[in-house]
Amino acid sequence: MTLEERIKEVKHRVEAACQRSKRAPDNVNVIAVTKYVSTQMTAQVLKQGLEHVGENRWQNAEEKWNALGQQGIWHFIGHLQTNKVKDVVSKFEYIHSLDRLSLAKELEKAGAAHNLEIKTFVQVNISGEDTKYGLTPEQTAPFLKQIRDFSHIRVVGLMTMAPFEAEAEDTRPVFRALRELMENLNQQAVTNEPMTELSMGMSNDFEVAVEEGATWIRLGSVLVGKEEEES
């Protein structure tokens, strides 16, 4: 399939998932995850009208950002080391992986230096797998209270990664739990403004995530493809 065909196909699948769950497709934002592809391919993605670009490491993103950073809205979706904050702040509009106080403090400092309000998602490890980053659901409310007065960070919502499942349907409880956690935290009013965003769903499971309320889906292989397939 060409990039154009993949974009169309994904759009159809998102729309169908929205129809099944009675959601408005406009509320589902697609992030094209370009970590597997070149700068050239990333340029094609932007040219096709996708405006949100996701990268998980600054080392991989740097060349692409230097070439194309002004053209899209960039999302940092991977684990963020504290010493990399200075590289990504002011380039990436959204950070999807806020998972600890030391990182929040560093983002707050960098946000102040650049006079920015950095949009973040708090990453939650719903599935409890050792290999995944993120706070436990129980740690999330205390963490949000700790950072609520950080004036250069705005927590727009929560992010999670589901375990890889052969059957996408098996990821549903993870996505549902993240949505319920956000609703619960909003009821407790642990943030200054209610959180509205759920960053969840990848190539393997995005339709289930949409059915469970995802407002940002992060799509690499199914949408952008992998470099081997392009050359």
DSSP structure class, residue 164? P
Nearest alpha-carbon partner for 54 in 217, 228, 229? 217
Nearest alpha-carbon partner for 84 in 71, 65, 68, 10? 65
Nearest alpha-carbon partner for 133 in 79, 213, 211? 79
Nearer Cβ to ligand PLP (132/148): 132
Choices 87-95, 125-133, 142-150, 197-205 (CB under 6 A): range interacting with ligand PLP: 197-205
Residues 53-82 as x/- pattern, contact with ligand PLP by CB under 6 A: ---x--------------------xx----
Nearest alpha-carbon partner for 13 in 209, 227, 225, 220? 209
18 is a site residue for ligand PLP (CB under 6 A): no
Query: Which residue of 10, 14, 28, 33 would you call a contact of ligand PLP, by CB under 6 A?
Result: 33
Nearer Cβ to ligand PLP (68/222): 222
35 is a site residue for ligand PLP (CB under 6 A): yes
Which token pair is 63? 């060349």
Residues 201-230 as x/- pattern, contact with ligand PLP by CB under 6 A: -xxx-------------xxxxx--------
Nearer Cβ to ligand PLP (28/219): 219
134 is a site residue for ligand PLP (CB under 6 A): no
Rounded CA-CA distance 47/70 in Å is 13
Q: Which of residues 76-115 bind ligand PLP (CB under 6 A)?
A: 77-78
Question: Could you tell me how many residues of this chain bind ligand PLP (CB under 6 A)?
Answer: 14
DSSP structure class, residue 33? E
Choices 21-29, 44-52, 65-73, 200-208 (CB under 6 A): range interacting with ligand PLP: 200-208
Rounded CA-CA distance 63/69 in Å is 9
Rounded CA-CA distance 215/206 in Å is 11
- Residue 22 Rama label (left phi>0; alpha psi -120 to 50; beta): left
Binding site for ligand PLP (CB under 6 A): 33, 35, 56, 77-78, 161, 202-204, 218-222
